[in-house]
Chains A and B, each alone.
Chain A
Amino acid sequence: MGRLALPPSADFGDLSHAVEVLYGRRLRFKEIGGAALHATTGIVFDAPTFTGIMVAAEDSEYYSLLSRVHELGHLIIRSAPDDWFSPELPRPKQPQQQSRLFLRLCPRNSTESTDADTVQEEVLVEELARALMRRLRAFESSAEEDHFA
């Protein structure tokens, strides 16, 4: 996570920009209403000119933010240089770009997928997403509380 070189008190814009640079494609975010995503918390897909991330419009803001960060996590795993991984923490096997699995539709914290690589990636990405959330300004430790409480 430290290799993303986020500024102190980073916001979602900073994180999104860092992933854009890493992934090398323009990112676009969209909220979908009407529960079209059902239990799926978010979708990431590559369009010809940009990479899109869709999340459910009905979700609370904090939850929706985590869904976006989670999808950014998939892009980080896909595009991070090899030296960001280690034998203890290898990069989950990535599906072929034309494969249906490239569009990941597995809900967070779910083990419903029978594809071990997908499950492993979901677990890893969720852990990364939550760590990134704690790093964002909104949820980082409050300096006020550190010093005055």
Chain B
Amino acid sequence: MIHTICLIAFVLVVVLRARSSWRKPAWWATAFGAVSIATYGIFWATPAVMDSLLRSRNILTLVRDSSAVAAMWFFHNAVATQRHRPERKLPLWALALAVVAFAVPFLLIRHPGPTSADFVLDRLQSFPTWLFSSVYISIMGVLAASVLALLRFEKSIMTRLYMLGISLMLVGSGMEVAYLFVAHFVPGTTGFAHDFYNVAEGPFFGGIFIGVLGVAWVLGVRNFWKYLARWTLRIDARAHDTGYQAQILLKARVNGWSDRQLAMDSAVNIRDRLKVGAQTLSKADDLVFTGVERMLSAQLQEASR
């Protein structure tokens, strides 16, 4: 169930952002995240069906884990860029090294087929299986911890969602490492291995879902300001001739104004005219305009936090 919810959230974010953001690391993070979660099955394409295309040797598990690490790697670099910390960006070779670090033990697993949802559990007594799983989840944990360190001084809603999501992922990673260690090294823990095989799934996938909500939140905020900016410009344009709107939109595009900046510019023009009685607003427009002004003022409080 949690896989399906995460997959829907990922697919929505990937599709909605594809045209405008496919060049950005954050988009690639969600795209790889979607690939990773999709390996848990999409409608008729169950994991068994997908793995059969890869010769039924549980290679799908490797695809899932590699995609997840790639997603976290891109996400880490997106956060580093957003935090103006380019020196913290991870090189591409580090991603390749990370994938090789768990792919090699995976390839050393004897008899990796047939396809099984309990692939790791069934082979947990073999050292390569333990090593493969532990290295993978440890890399995810280290990347999560590094993202948390980058975000620790930020207090926006997006960042809070990211921090909550990544913290849960970190907890899930820690639980999984502990589980793998006990199940592999402590004798007589077969029952424990079966009972707690999925114990880390809740926090881990819950964390992923909350993280994707963070991206969706920013997307929503951006579209909200886009709408407000167009509305404010329309009201501003009432005091000008017909070409004004197009002219201002062109000016905004050429100068790289954000929608928030455009809204502020138009709101100031409107308030200037209201102040000297050169423009009047209907009750409904006045209500919306008051809301726009409050939100513009709230930007100042947010920035001073």
Residues of A within 8 A of B (CB): 8, 11, 39, 41, 59-63, 65-66, 107-110, 130, 133-134, 136-139, 141-149
Contact = CB atoms under 8 A, between A and B. Distances in A.
24 contacts: A39-B275, A39-B276, A41-B272, A60-B293, A60-B296, A62-B293, A62-B297, A108-B272, A109-B272, A130-B265, A130-B268, A134-B264, A136-B303, A138-B303, A141-B258, A142-B258, A144-B82, A145-B222, A147-B26, A147-B78, A148-B214, A148-B218, A149-B215, A149-B222
Contacts of A141: 256, 258, 261
Contacts of A143: 82-84
Interface of B: 17, 21, 24-26, 78, 81-84, 156, 158-159, 214-215, 218-219, 221-222, 256-258, 260-261, 264-265, 267-269, 271-273, 275-276, 293-294, 296-297, 299-304
Nearest to A40: B275
A131 B170 CA distance: 43
Contacts of B257: 134
A138 B258 CA distance: 12
Question: Chain B CB within 10 Å — which of A63, A130, A147 has the most?
Answer: A147
Nearest to B80: A147
Chain B, interface SS category = helix
Contacts of A61: 297, 300-301
Contacts of B267: 62-63
A139 B26 CA distance: 23
B264 A62 contact: yes
Contacts of A66: 268
A142 B275 contact: no
A134 B21 CA distance: 23
Nearest to A129: B268
Contacts of B302: 138
Given A61-B300, A62-B297, A142-B260, A149 B268 contact: no
Nearest to A138: B303
B303 A60 contact: no
Contacts of A148: 26, 78, 82, 158, 214-215, 218-219
Contacts of B156: 144
Contact of A139 (B78, B214, B261): B261
A136 B222 CA distance: 19
